[in-house]
Amino acid sequence: MVMRWTFIVLGVLWIAAATGLAQSPAGPIRTKPQPTTVPRERLPPAPRIGRQPVEYDREPVGYQPPSDPVLLKAIEANKAFDEKLPNFLCQQFMTRSRSRNLGKKWKDEDVVEAEVLIVDDHEQYRDIKIDGRPTGAKDLSQIGGTWSMGEYSTVVWNLFIPPSRTQFTEEGPDTVGDRRTLVYRYKIEQENSRWKLHMNGQMYSPGHHGKVWIDLENGRALRVEMEATFLPYDFPLWTAAGVLQYEDVEIDGQIYLLPAMAENTVCVRDSAVCSRINIDFRDYQKFSSESTLFTTDSDVDFGRPVPEEREPQSEPKD
């Protein structure tokens, strides 16, 4: 079961999302300062994305599968994940924050709470609230502002499918919690990307690069850090990044590796304004009822640019 990441401009996002959301060596050299990086221990874990309409068996012309045994195990583990994960639901809490100084200082704006259902490869949101107040929205795209959806498997799914033509470079061993992992740098070119960013009615699928932590025991991705390699100069954002992290979750007596946390960050072009979404996933449960669902993409929507903050005007005196 794989879901797509929808990062709505921060929205992205994983995230999404996300997830995540970050940057790139392949594009033109930037002259703008980079936003302050969130400390590593603060970065959240990995959201998932909705299943992409691609097949493992549809290898593009000229595709050469990796020979690295760890990557081969990861490809098989990612493929098998679809077949083992049950229908489930969980609670998602998305804290939306804003910075007006390139991420040096953040101000929380609100918390979006929703129940997420994953049924037969599809993702649905219901009972959406903002700061505890019902919104009546049927999906996150209706709440306005920044949002991210589709974090449940698409990010990882897209890393290991042939159509992405992902380029991997081994970096070295590391641990995530008590798990032994091997870290790889990765890169996906723009023409093969399925990560979508939305803002002001515009959409762009950037090439992206980052790191993935692969569990040496079972081949599953435990953490993904991703960053847009280059965003066009006529696109309203100039940087986008995400982090996804997974943990073992018990559902109906079985243990599954599922998203625990995610963080997506973007910055508005020609501005010091940045937006961030922190997502927590809680209370996983098995879901067996019939439900009307829709398929999400790996998108992030960041709403409209925020005007520069002005000094408050003093009250007129009598």
The number of C-alpha atoms within 13 Å of 141 and in the hemisphere containing its C-beta is: 15
Residue 11 pLDDT class (50, 70, 90 cuts):
very low
CA distances from 238 to 22, 33, 174, 225, 235 (A): 10, 11, 31, 18, 7
By C-alpha distance, which of 98, 41, 86 is closest to 245?
41
Which three-class secondary structure state does DSSP give residue 294? strand
pLDDT digits (tens, 9 = 90+) for 198-212: 887 888 999 999 999
| Integer Cα distance of 130 and 115 in angstroms | 12
Query: Mean pLDDT, to the nearest integer, of 36-61?
Result: 42
Residue 214 pLDDT class (50, 70, 90 cuts):
very high
Q: Read off the DSSP letter of residue 279.
A: E
pLDDT digits (tens, 9 = 90+) for 229-257: 999 999 999 999 999 999 888 888 888 88
Host H or E run for residue 81 = helix 69-84
| Integer Cα distance of 229 and 307 in angstroms | 26
**pLDDT at position 187 over 60:** yes
If one compares 147 and 315, the residue with the highest pLDDT of the two is 147
Structural contact between residues 69 and 247, judged by C-beta atoms closer than 8 angstroms: no
pTM: 0.72
Query: Mean pLDDT, to the nearest integer, of 177-188?
Result: 95
Kindly state the percentage of the chain with pLDDT values over 90: 42
**pLDDT at position 315 over 70:** no
pLDDT digits (tens, 9 = 90+) for 86-101: 788 889 999 999 999 9
By C-alpha distance, which of 1, 5, 10 is closest to 198?
10
Query: Mean pLDDT, to the nearest integer, of 165-182?
Result: 95
Dihedral sign for Cα 212, 38, 144, 284, please. Answer: positive
If one compares 49 and 127, the residue with the highest pLDDT of the two is 127
